[in-house]
Structure 1
Amino acid sequence: MTRTAVDDHVSAAVDATNATRIAVSTVIFTLRRLPGGDTPVVALPLVRRTRDPHEGQWSLPGGWLDVAEGLDAAASRTLAETTGLAPSYLEQLYAFGAVDRSPTRVVSIVYWALIRPEIASSGVGRSGADALENVQWFDAASLPRLAFDHNEIVEYALWRLRNKVGYSRIAHGLLADMFTLAELREVYESILGRRLDPANFRRQVENSGNLIPTELFRTGSHRPARLYRYNQDVELADRGPLDARD
C-alpha cells in the first residue's frame, strides 16, 4: 500500500471514529392531575426505549435530524412521530454534547415545549396498543432514572420554564384561550411549586397589561368568575434575536 493510500485509509478511519450524529429531542410540559393527586403538576411525556443503549428505560421523545431538515421542523416532526402531540409553544433550549453522554458521539439539539391540558388529556401515542405501552406521563418533579443525560436536560428545561413565567406570558401556553384568574394562578403555582396570595396575584396580573377582561363569566358552585384572555399583541415569551426570523 502506498503512503498516499495509507494516509487516506487512516484519515477515513479517524473521520469515522470522530463522526458526530445530531439528534433532536423535546421536553414537552403540560399541567396534569396525575392518579392520586389533588392539584395539577407540571408533567411531561416520556418514551420507553425499545433497543440498546438503555433498552427499557424512559427517555425524552426525539429522533435523528434529517439532512434536508431545519431544526424547528425536526423538533415538531419527531415529537409528532413519538407522541402524536403538537405543542402550543416551542423554543430551542440548549445543545447537549458531552463526549460520554452516549456510546457513540451524539449531539442533541433540545427543545422545550408547552401543550395545553385539554390537548394533552386527549392522550399520547402514535397509534394502537403500542403507543399506550411506550409513552407515559410523568410528574416532572419526581422522575425515574432516565436514559442518557435526560434527567439533567429536564432539570434545565424546568429551570427555564420557572424563570420565564416570571417575566413573560409563557403561562398562556398552558391555558385555554379564556380563563379565570384562579385558573391562571393555579398555572403559576404549579410551575413555581408554591402557593401565591390571591389578592396580590390579582393586583399584579391586572396591572401587567397582558390580560383583557371579557364580558363572560364561568359559573359553578361558587360565585361567577370573570373570564379573561391574553393580549395577543404581546408575545408568549421574548426569544431575543430569534423573534426576528422569517
Structure 2
Amino acid sequence: MAAHATDVSLAVSTVIFALRPHPETGRMTVWMPLVRRIREPFVGKWALPGGPLEPDEDLAESAARTLAETTLLTPQYLEQLYAFGNIDRSPGGRVVSIVYWALVRSEEADVAVETENVRWFEADSVPELAFDHNLIVEYALWRLRNKLEYSSIAHAFVGDTFTLSELREVHEAVLQKPLDPANFRRQIEGSGQVVPTEHLQTGGRHRPARLYRYNRAASDENNGPLPSRSLPGRTQGAS
C-alpha cells in the first residue's frame, strides 16, 4: 500500500569524495567512505552517511553533524547535490533524502575514522548499497566530473596554493585519463580560474615550480545570489 502524504519523512545524506592512491596501481583515484547499516531496513548493507533531519537543524547542519559523528570528517567543501524522493526508494515508508556532497583533501581523509562499520571504497567500484544509494553515488560522480570542467571545484582537493602539476593530477584522477601538460596549462591559465603567486614550490628534486591560487573573484561569480556559509568550512548551494 502506498504511503500517505502525511507519512513522508525527510532525511539528509552525504557523499564524501577524496583522492587516495589505489592499493594496486598507486595512482590517485576517487574514494569515498560508507557506513554499514546496523538496523532494518537493509541491515548489514553499506550506505551513505546520513540520517533523519532534526527539527532544529538546517540541512547543511544536519549533513555536517552526521559526517562528524560517523567519520570525524569536517570538510571545507559541502554542497547540496540533489533531492531523491521516489515513492518506493525506502521499504519502511516514504522518505525524501536531501543529498549533499563533500570534498576533502588526502591528508584530511587520512585522519578519518575507519572501523568495522565505516570503510573507504573506490567510488567507481562500490558494492550493492542500501536504498537507492548506488544511483546517488553514480550521479555524484557524474556531477563531479562535469563540474570539474567549468568550475573551481578542484580547489577542494588541493591546498590554498598549488602547482599546475598538482592541479593536473587532480583532474587526471577525477576524469580517469591522462592529460597533456602543455594543453592543460594553456586551458587553466586561459580560464581565469587561477592566478600565479610570487612564490615557488621548493624542496623537490626538480626545478622549483610556480605556485598558483584560485581566483576567488571569478569563483564568487558562479555562486549566484545565495550567501556562503561555514559549516565548518565554506559551504555552497546546489549548482
Is the TM-score greater than 0.5? yes
Q: Deviations over 1:200-220 (max 9, x none)?
A: 001111122222223222332
Alpha carbons of structure 1 residues 244 and 136: separation in structure 2 relative to 1, 3 Å: closer
* Residue 62 of structure 1: aligned partner: 50
Matching of residue 119 in structure 1 with residue 111 in structure 2? no
Q: Out of 101, 123, 137, which is 1:154 matched to?
A: 137
The structure with more radius of gyration = 1
SS of 1:234's equivalent in the other structure is helix
Matching of residue 193 in structure 1 with residue 181 in structure 2? no
* Residue 175 of structure 1: aligned partner: 158
Give the Cα–Cα distance (whole angstroms) in 2 for the partners of residues 160 and 134 of structure 1: 27
* Residue 166 of structure 1: aligned partner: 149
Give the Cα–Cα distance (whole angstroms) in 2 for the partners of residues 67 and 244 of structure 1: 22
* Residue 91 of structure 1: aligned partner: 79
Matching of residue 110 in structure 1 with residue 99 in structure 2? yes
Displacement of 1:109 in angstroms is 0.6
Q: With CA pairs under 8 Å and 6+ residues apart, which has the higher RCO, 1 or 2?
A: 2
**Mean alpha-carbon deviation: is it higher for 91-100 or for 15-24?**
15-24
Which 4+ runs in 1 deviate beyond 3 A?
14-18, 239-245
- Do 2:71 and 2:118's aligned partners in 1 also have CA atoms closer than 8 Å? yes
Q: Deviations over 1:113-141 (max 9, x none)?
A: 1111111112x23xxxxx52211111111
- Do 1:168 and 1:237's aligned partners in 2 also have CA atoms closer than 8 Å? no
* Residue 18 of structure 2: aligned partner: 30
Q: Once the two structures are aligned, what percentage of the paired residues are identical?
A: 60
TM-score by length of 1: 0.85
Higher strand fraction: Structure 1 or Structure 2? 2
Read off the aligned partner of 1:192 and give its amino acid letter.
L
RMSD: 2.3
**Mean alpha-carbon deviation: is it higher for 176-185 or for 14-23?**
14-23
Give the Cα–Cα distance (whole angstroms) in 1 for the partners of residues 3 and 95 of structure 2: 14
- Do 2:3 and 2:94's aligned partners in 1 also have CA atoms closer than 8 Å? no
Unaligned runs of 5+ in 1: 1-13, 126-130
* Residue 59 of structure 2: aligned partner: 71
SS of 2:96's equivalent in the other structure is strand
Unaligned runs of 5+ in 2: 230-239
Displacement of 1:233 in angstroms is 2.6
